[in-house]
Amino acid sequence: MKITIICVGKIKEKFYTEAVREYSKRLSRYCTLSITEVADEKTKEQASETEIAMVKDLEGERILKSIRPDGYVIALAIDGKQPDSIELSREIEKLGLGGVSHIYFVIGGSLGLSDKVLKRADARLSFSKMTFPHQLMRVILLEQIYRSYRIMHHEPYHK
């Protein structure tokens, strides 16, 4: 299985970079992982709804260019399903058994995802009704994918 995480913006803090590196290393024995960073747009502090939509659309176009037509897309969105770790593991396993060879997880920027990206998504995933920094979300997502593979392989992992 190939898993690509597409995210808006770069990680600036070293501790996030180290965590991403660690989970990427751990995941290498289970899947082929890649992380694609697309450029984020600068947004004014008091941006209008029109300006916000334009920013999300520009970032969304960059995201969509990174997705192959045959890929299965899971958008991280606050209105998505909130599975527990076992349910997420089963879903990833089911996709693989069903012939999906490439899953894209998409993390938007600070304003979220464009409507076009959400329409392209095959599923929406939410980790909480709370909002998290998108850089931290990358680490949380990687940890949950790693946990999913541990569960799939009946390997111990702390609860």
In the annotated binding site, the residues are 76, 108, 127-132
Tokens (6 digits) for 35 = 């992380």
- Asked whether 132 and 139 are in contact (CB, 8 A), the reply is no
Eight-class DSSP state of 41? P
Q: Distance (Å, rounded) from C-alpha 99 to C-alpha 89?
A: 16
Q: Distance (Å, rounded) from C-alpha 16 to C-alpha 12?
A: 8
Q: Distance (Å, rounded) from C-alpha 139 to C-alpha 47?
A: 28
Annotated binding site for S-adenosyl-L-methionine: 76, 108, 127-132
Q: In what order do the strands lie in the sheet with 32-38?
A: 32-38, 2-8, 102-107, 72-81, 123-125
Q: Distance (Å, rounded) from C-alpha 157 to C-alpha 62?
A: 36
